[in-house]
Chains A and B, each alone.
Chain A
Amino acid sequence: MEIYVLVKQVPDPEAIVKVKSDLELEIENKYFTSFFDEIAVEAGLKLKEKFGGRVTVLTVDNRRVDALRRGISMGADDAVQIADAALEGSDQFAIARTLSAYLKDKPFDLILTGRQAMDDDAGIVGPAVAECLGIPHVHSIIGFEVDDQKREAKVIREVENGRETLTCPLPALLTCQKGLNKPRIPLVMNVMKAMKAQIKKIDLASLGLGQSDMSPYIKIEKYVPPPKRPPVKMIKEDFPENVRVLVKLLREEAKVI
Chain B
Amino acid sequence: MSNDIWVLAEHQEGKVKKIVFELLSAGIDFSKKTGQEVAVLLLGSGLEEAAKSLTPFADKIYVMDDPSFTPYTSDAYLPSIASLIKEHQPSILLGGATSTGKDLFPRLAMHLQTGYSPDCTGLSIGEDGKLIARRPLFGGKVFAEMAFSEARPPMATVRNNAFLVNENLDRSATVISVPPHIDPSLLKKKVIGFEKAPGAKLDITEADIVVAAGRGIKAPENFKMIEDLADALNASVGTTRATVDEGWRDLKDQIGKSGKNISAKLYMAFGISGAIHHILGIGTCKTVVAVDNDPNALIFNYADYGIAGDLFQIIPALTEELKKALAADR
- Nearest opposing residue in chain A for B113, CB measure: A217
CB contacts between A and B, total, < 8 Å: 259
In the complex, chain B residues whose CB is within 8 Å of the CB of A243: 307, 314, 317-318, 321
Q: Mark A29-44, 1 if CB is under 8 A from B, else 0.
A: 0000001100000000
Q: A226-B136, A226-B143 are in contact. Are A127 and B107 (CB under 8 A)?
A: yes
Pick the interface stretch among A50-58, A80-88, A154-162, A197-205.
A154-162
- A225-B142 contact, Cβ under 8 Å, with A118-B257, A166-B189: yes
Contacts of B111 in A (CB 8 A): 131
Enumerate B231-246 residues with CB–CB distance to A below 8 Å.
233
Whole-angstrom distance between the Cβ of A188 and the nearest chain B Cβ: 24
Residues of A within 8 A of B137 (CB): 17, 119-121, 223
- Min distance, Cβ B239 to any Cβ of chain A, angstroms: 13
**Majority SS at the chain A contact face:** mixed
* A154 CA to B106 CA, complexed, in Å: 22
> Chain B residues with Cβ under 8 A from A140's Cβ?
99, 102-103
What are the residues of chain B within 8 A of A118 when measuring CB–CB?
A: 138-139, 257
Max chain A C-beta neighbours (<10 A), residue from B75, B102, B266, B303:
B102
> Among the listed stretches B37-45, B168-176, B280-288, which one makes contact with chain A, having 4 or more residues with CB under 8 Å of it?
B280-288
Q: A221-B147, A242-B309 are in contact. Are A165 and B266 (CB under 8 A)?
A: no
A228 to B109, CA, bound (A): 33
Chain A residues with CB below 8 A from B53, complex form: none
B289 touches A250 (CB 8 A): yes
Q: Which residue of A lies closest to B232 (CB)?
A: A257
**Contact present for A257 and B304 (CB under 8 Å):** no
Chain B: interface size category: 35 or more
* A187 located at the interface, meaning its Cβ lies under 8 Å from any Cβ of chain B in the complex: no
With an 8 A cutoff between CB atoms, is B326 at the interface? yes
Of residues 122 through 179 on chain B, the ones whose CB sits less than 8 Å from some CB of chain A are: 132, 134-149, 151
**Residues B254 and A178 in contact, CB atoms below 8 Å apart:** yes
| Interchain nearest-CB distance for A12 vs B (Å) | 10
Known: A118-B139, A225-B143. Contact between A250 and B306, CB under 8 A?
no
Indicate if B181 sits at the interface (CB-CB under 8 A): no
User: Does B252 belong to the interface (CB within 8 Å)?
Assistant: yes
Contact status of A254 and B118, CB under 8 A, knowing A128-B109, A139-B103: no
Report yes or no: A226 in contact with B149, Cβ–Cβ below 8 A: no
A241 shortest CB reach to chain B, Å = 10
Chain B residues within 8 Å of A, Cβ to Cβ = 12, 71, 73-75, 98-100, 102-103, 106-107, 109-111, 113-119, 132, 134-149, 151, 188-197, 202-203, 205-206, 209, 233, 251-252, 254, 257-259, 265-266, 276-277, 280, 283, 286-290, 295, 300-310, 313-314, 317-318, 321-322, 325-326
Whether A234 contacts B306 in the complex (CB less than 8 A), given A139-B102, A217-B109, comes out as yes
In the bound complex, residues from chain A placing their C-beta under 8 Å from that of B301 are: 232
B238 CB → nearest A CB, Å: 14
Assess A224 versus B144: contact at CB under 8 Å? Given A163-B195, A218-B116.
yes
Q: Ordered nearest first, which 3 A-B pairs have the shortest CB separation?
A: A217-B115, A165-B193, A127-B107
- Size of interface on A: residues with Cβ below 8 Å to B: 81
Task: Render A115-149 as a binary contact track against B, CB cut-off 8 A, 1 for contact.
Answer: 00011111111111011100011111010000000
Are B209 and A256 in touch, CB under 8 angstroms? yes
Tell me which residues across on chain A come within 8 A of B307, comparing CB atoms: 234-235, 242-243, 246
Contacts of A16 in B (CB 8 A): 141
Partner of B306, one of A159, A220, A235: A235
Cross-interface CB contact of A162 among B117, B195, B257, B287, cutoff 8 Å:
B195
A18 with B142: in contact, given A35-B258, A139-B102, A178-B259 (CB under 8 Å)?
A: yes
Interface contact A13-B326, CB-CB below 8 Å: no
Partner of A131, one of B110, B195, B314: B110
Residues of B within 8 A of A257 (CB): 209, 233, 266, 322, 325-326
Contact A136 B189 (CB under 8 A): yes
CB distance from A60 to the nearest CB of B (A): 16
- Please state if A167 and B192 are interface contacts (CB–CB under 8 Å): yes
Complex CA–CA separation, A226 to B144 (angstroms): 9
Given A158-B252, A215-B149, A247-B318, are A137 and B74 neighbors across the interface (CB < 8 Å)? Answer: yes
Q: How far is the CB of A39 from chain B (nearest CB, A)?
A: 9
Of the residues A18, A93, A221, A233, contact of B305 by C-beta under 8 Å = A233
Residue of chain B at shortest CB distance from A216: B149
C-alpha gap A132/B111 in the complex (Å): 8
Query: Is the beta-carbon distance between B145 and A220 smaller than 8 angstroms?
Result: yes
Given A136-B188, A230-B304, A250-B287, verify A142-B258 contact (CB < 8 Å): no
Known: A14-B277, A239-B309. 18 other contacts (CB 8 A): A13-B280, A17-B137, A19-B142, A35-B257, A119-B137, A121-B137, A122-B119, A158-B252, A160-B205, A163-B194, A220-B146, A220-B147, A221-B132, A221-B144, A222-B144, A232-B301, A242-B309, A254-B286
